[in-house]
Every structure is written in C-alpha cells, then in structure tokens.
Structure 1
C-alpha cells in the first residue's frame, strides 16, 4: 500500500506556520515586555520554528482545518517561548498574562490567515495557469520572404564600410 499523497497546500501550510511562529514569538515577546532575543536565542528560535513548520507540513489531511492550525501555531508558540527562555532571557519560564494574551491573539489571527490562504490557493493557481498558458493563437500560413535592402550603388556601400569613424587624437 502506498503512503497517502500530501495535500497540495501542505508545504504552504508548513512554511507559513514555521515563519509565523518565529515572527509571532519575537513580536509577542516584545509587546509582552520580554524584549528582543539575542543571537543565541534567535538561532535556537529559528531551529525550533523550522521543526514546527516541517512537522505541520507532514500532518495527514484530516488535520488541515482551522482548529488544527490553531493547535499547531499554539504548540509552536509554546516551543518558541521555551526556546527563548533557554538562553539568558530576562523573564521566567512562566509568561505574564499580557504576553500570553498577545501570543493567543496572534495565534488565532494567523491561523485564520493561513486557512484563508489555503482556501484561495486552488482558485489563484488555476487563474495563474490560465493566464500563463493562454489560448492557442492560429499561425498564419502566408510567409513573406525577407530580402535585405541593397544600396543603389555598390560603390557607396564600399565607401561606407571603409570610412573610419575615429577622430584625430586629442591634445592634452
């Protein structure tokens, strides 16, 4: 038995979840008072978010609804928060209420954005293919022979080719 074929939007979903988890984690931490991450925290955050996006892209088709996106983004936010707290981060592992509210609101909004992007993916790709492919145009059967224009006097052609267009040297 062959494995189930992934949905056409699986890569789109995984990439969007991974990118948005990283962006949301940094933004929600900044809004919630956690500050911006340093380079070590940012590196760990990007690795964590890449993993969350890869796992989301591999989920079976029955987990492609908006609630599954909220769950994936929420789990990604928790993983991203712990990735940020593993380094020298200023606040504790248990986030404050404003930070949790910022994470939750951003998670729901981004889940709705990804769900709408998946819904519009099929029609937009169809329109794009029709525009690029276009309707076949008939080819005209009558062909005209291209004759190069000949100068009236062959001596003029010889003189035009032999006349130098270079000027005299410039004195300094």
Structure 2
C-alpha cells in the first residue's frame, strides 16, 4: 500500500494543498518553517486519524479556522485505488472515512498503509523508559497484524484489572 496523493484543507500552516506523491521515495525540502514537518504530520493524521506531534488536536487546525480536513489517496498491491479521509472540528467527533464509508477507527481499516514517524522531538523513544519502547513496538505490531490489536487491548485491560 502506497500513498499517491495528499490533500489538505486548513491543516497547520496550510490553508489548502494538493500534493502528488511519486512512486518510490518522495523528498520534501525547504527552508526552516516552510511546513515540511506539517506535511509529514498531515500524512500521518490522514492515515491514522491522530497527530504524531500533539495530543491536543486543536493545534492541527489552521489559524482562524474551525475545521480541518486531510485526504490521502492510496494504491494497494493490486493497483486498486483507495481514499482515507479525516475531518476534525473542535467539540465534535472526528469524521473518519475509508473509501467514502464512515469508520470508527482508521487503524482497523485494511486499506491503510503502515506508517511510522520518527521526529527529532521523539528521542524519548531511544532515551526514555522501556515501557515507552514496548508501547511503540505494540503499535507497530498492531499496524502490521491488525488482528493482534484486539489481543493487545484485552491483555492491557486484564493487566489493569489485576493491578487495580
């Protein structure tokens, strides 16, 4: 599964953007503050339904606007086209869609690429406690084998009950 196009509306520093992603490696370059990291975050947001940089998702909305929308066009290994869409407005539930159908969570959608973002401000993954690394590995495993995500959640709930 590869991303072929990224469309943004009112996402961080972008009022509107439509970016075609070429086959293979796509290099994004520009001056400091030009919005390169915002593009990476938008791609992550469009594929997962959450930000890789902040837990306060109001921060992803462009200044003086009340809503953001990210669309990611994808092509699977059989050449079929798919679209993931995330719409967000503070105070309302996120609107998540896969191929035009509303879904509860994008991580459960089969037509979703594996995505992992490592930003400089995420050095705690290397320097931080082992629990953080285990959590990251759990997320990667859940992305690669979605069926195991439910097992991980059930294990976490059982552990929390035992420790309560």
TM value normalised by structure 1: 0.23
With a CA cutoff of 8 Å and minimum separation of 6, indicate the structure with the bigger relative contact order: 1
Which has the larger Rg?
Answer: 1
Kindly indicate which of the two structures has a greater share of residues assigned to helix. 1
